[in-house]
Chains A and B, each alone.
Chain A
Amino acid sequence: MEFAGEQMQSAAQAQGGQNGVSPAEHRARQERRNALMLISPGVVWMALFMVLPMVMVIYVSFWTQTTFTVEPTLTTDSWVRFLTSSTYLASAWTTVRIWAIVLAATLVIGYPVALFIGLMVRNQTLQTALLVICIIPFWTSFLIRVIAWRPMLGTEGAINMILMKLGIVDTPLTTLLFSELAVLIGMTQIYCVFMVGPITFMLSRIDPSVIEAARDLGAGFGRIFFKIILPLSLPGVIVGAIFVSVMVLGEFATAASLSGRKVNLLGNIIVSQVGSLKWAFASVAGVILTIIIAAVITVLLRVVNLRKET
């Protein structure tokens, strides 16, 4: 009996190799090791070229700024200067205000479009075609799309020309270009696609029979919309809102081109401070921008648990 037990033990050992693990486990380990090897180049790249630079921004925001350079002596001077300057606090406020307006505008303008493409158009080919038409401008140059608003909005621009021809206004509107309105219009047009796309995707997944059932049970369109369509499309709204928020908050080119330097976002502050070699100060603006973005994303993710939904 004893002998047989020993034999079994040794057999098990031979099968599992030196460590006493089963072949299946051994293979799983091997696979895990392979997986780690495969993901490591990407992880290293992101750590070196994304995480490290971001840490650097936080670190340098506490450096001492001299006229043309920064010294690695830690101080909170730049922070104090930012938080006590009404100009810079105003730019933080402008950033948040423009973000809120553009986000609302892209949602209000984009949702009906998504509703039409995702829910009303039931022909698959037409649906795809419409979505592609909406996405195509995304493939063209961002800066050219910004510049394209100048001949539209200027005092001698296309919109003023049409308004004058129609006799709606007598003198050209001067508030269209080089104003906050121009920045809002430009950003809404450029980023609306990122709202339309995800919402359309969610709406096209709604089972038509659910809506039909609700209609058969006597629900009106308003009721169907608020009880079925809106809740089911909410994850799309949140994903779209995250896209739009992140892009609008990090913006500076649209404001620089269309506002005539009247709108100064945090991004514009960073660009101008780097231009005058005020690295520490640019870093403070960068950290504040990061905090705002992180807060916005956290709040948006609170609204809907995306992981649970998808």
Chain B
Amino acid sequence: MEARVLKPILGVYCAAFILFLYGPMIILAILSFQGAGGGPQFPIIEWSTYWYQHLLGMTPPSRISRLPIGDSLLRSLTLAMMTTVVSTTLGVITAQGFRTRFKASGAVFYLVILGMIVPGVLVGLGMALLSNMLGIDRSWWGTAFVLHVVYTFPFAFLVMLAIFNRFDRSVEEASLSLGVSPVQTFRRVTFPMIFPGVLSAMLFSFTLSYDEFSRTLFTSGRELTLPLTIYGTFSVEIYPNIFAFGVLTTLFSFTLLLVYALLMLRAVRAGRSFKGQEEAV
């Protein structure tokens, strides 16, 4: 009885919650179409794409300086790709190692998981201190990069661990006992089976690194990454050009998500047709 009353109430509440989650982004998106003379708030004096052009340097020079995103965007993308490759590789081989029971596996598990738990500001500080003591210059491709991997590797590891847990070992063993070399077995048998997991690990690593900021703050040295550039605008007055940037970077993230979904769908379909063949035989 009560559930019948409760369900619609909770449904409305849930809708309100979704509005709470999306509201600020929607307002930000609307305000990004503010006219040239308008401020970062309502009313919209004139609908235009002025701030998008401003962002891309297509407007005549004005009082408001351009967001220096060009170089930092390139750096962030490179860094995210480096991080993706290394943390996914580490995630796969570490999870592969976890398929055999060994002593201290609990300790190793927690050591890896700690990477996603430790606040970025703390490891960032520690890494800055360490590089100071050792006399190593801080850089986005060095000190910041290793911390990005510390952060994303646990995600990749957890995803791969979940995949290996549901993994049918006998297929691999069949391949090995038929005389296929371990390397070939991994390439032709194991890898296709774990591919959806690898894809998820890559998506996690890329997105988290691309957006990572607290770990980069103390460790990137003079050359800034994209989130650091955005953080630089926090202290000064904000203009709608940062809203325009927010819309573009959100669209970029969504594109990534879409590509992931499409690849995933293909992998699932391929898996299904493979099973179908087996049954037919």
Q: What residues of chain A have their CB less than 8 Å away from a CB belonging to chain B? A: 31-32, 34-39, 41-43, 45-57, 60, 109, 112-113, 115-117, 120, 130, 133-134, 136-137, 139-145, 147-152, 154, 156-158, 161, 189, 192-193, 220-221, 242, 246-247, 249-250, 252-253, 256-257, 267, 270-271, 274, 279, 282-283, 286, 289-290, 293, 297
Q: What residues of chain B have their CB less than 8 Å away from a CB belonging to chain A? A: 2-3, 6-7, 10-11, 13-14, 17-18, 20-25, 27-28, 31, 39-42, 90-91, 93-94, 96-100, 102, 108, 111-112, 114-115, 117-123, 125-130, 132-133, 146-147, 149-150, 153, 157, 207, 211, 213-214, 217-218, 227, 230-231, 234-235, 238, 242-243, 245-246, 249-250, 253-254, 256-257
Q: B125 near A50 (CB under 8 angstroms)? A: no
Instruction: Out of B28, B123, B257, name the residue touching A151 (CB < 8 Å).
Output: B28
Residues of A within 8 A of B94 (CB): 38-39, 41-42
Instruction: Show 19 A/B contacts (Cβ-Cβ < 8 Å), sorted by A.
Output: A42-B153, A45-B146, A46-B115, A53-B123, A113-B13, A113-B17, A120-B11, A140-B249, A141-B230, A143-B213, A149-B24, A158-B42, A246-B117, A246-B119, A256-B234, A270-B121, A283-B125, A286-B125, A293-B119
Residues of B within 8 A of A220 (CB): 2
A282 and B126 alpha carbons, distance in the complex (Å):
10
Residues of A within 8 A of B7 (CB): 116, 120
Q: Which residue of A lies closest to B34 (CB)?
A: A151
Residues of B within 8 A of A133 (CB): 18
Quote the shortest CB–CB distance from A280 to chain B (angstroms). Answer: 10
Q: B125 near A274 (CB under 8 angstroms)? A: yes
A34 and B94 alpha carbons, distance in the complex (Å):
11
Residues of A within 8 A of B125 (CB): 53, 57, 270, 274, 282-283, 286
Quote the shortest CB–CB distance from B94 to chain A (angstroms). Answer: 4
Residues of B within 8 A of A109 (CB): 17, 20
Quote the shortest CB–CB distance from B92 to chain A (angstroms). Answer: 9
Quote the shortest CB–CB distance from A239 to chain B (angstroms). Answer: 12
A109 and B18 alpha carbons, distance in the complex (Å):
11
Instruction: Give how many A-B residue pairs fall within 8 Å (CB-CB).
Output: 240
Q: A257 near B234 (CB under 8 angstroms)? A: yes
Residues of A within 8 A of B123 (CB): 49-50, 53-54
In order of increasing CB-CB distance, the 9 nearest A-B pairs are: A250-B119, A53-B126, A38-B97, A148-B24, A39-B97, A35-B100, A144-B246, A116-B10, A42-B94
Q: B257 near A139 (CB under 8 angstroms)? A: yes
Residues of A within 8 A of B90 (CB): 41-42, 45
Q: Is the interface of A mostly helix, strand, loop or mixed?
A: helix
A46 and B94 alpha carbons, distance in the complex (Å):
12
A141 and B94 alpha carbons, distance in the complex (Å):
29
Q: B119 near A53 (CB under 8 angstroms)? A: no
A270 and B121 alpha carbons, distance in the complex (Å):
8
Quote the shortest CB–CB distance from B185 to chain A (angstroms). Answer: 14
Quote the shortest CB–CB distance from A54 to chain B (angstroms). Answer: 5
A249 and B120 alpha carbons, distance in the complex (Å):
11
Quote the shortest CB–CB distance from A277 to chain B (angstroms). Answer: 10
Q: A137 near B98 (CB under 8 angstroms)? A: no
Q: A252 near B214 (CB under 8 angstroms)? A: yes
Instruction: Out of A139, A151, A242, A290, name the residue touching B207 (CB < 8 Å).
Output: A139
A157 and B253 alpha carbons, distance in the complex (Å):
27
Other than the given A151-B28, A256-B234, A297-B117, 12 more pairs (CB < 8 A) read A36-B102, A49-B150, A52-B126, A57-B122, A57-B126, A113-B13, A116-B7, A140-B253, A142-B213, A145-B25, A151-B24, A151-B243
Quote the shortest CB–CB distance from B69 to chain A (angstroms). Answer: 12
A247 and B149 alpha carbons, distance in the complex (Å):
18
Q: Which residue of B lies closest to A297 (CB)?
A: B117
Residues of B within 8 A of A252 (CB): 121, 214
Given contacts A252-B121, A290-B122, contact A189 B42 (CB under 8 A): no
Q: Which residue of A lies closest to B97 (CB)?
A: A38
Q: B13 near A112 (CB under 8 angstroms)? A: yes
A51 and B111 alpha carbons, distance in the complex (Å):
9
Q: B21 near A151 (CB under 8 angstroms)? A: no
A136 and B256 alpha carbons, distance in the complex (Å):
12
Q: A193 near B249 (CB under 8 angstroms)? A: no
Quote the shortest CB–CB distance from B211 to chain A (angstroms). Answer: 5
Residues of B within 8 A of A283 (CB): 125, 129
Residues of A within 8 A of B2 (CB): 220-221
Q: A53 near B130 (CB under 8 angstroms)? A: yes
Residues of A within 8 A of B126 (CB): 52-57, 286
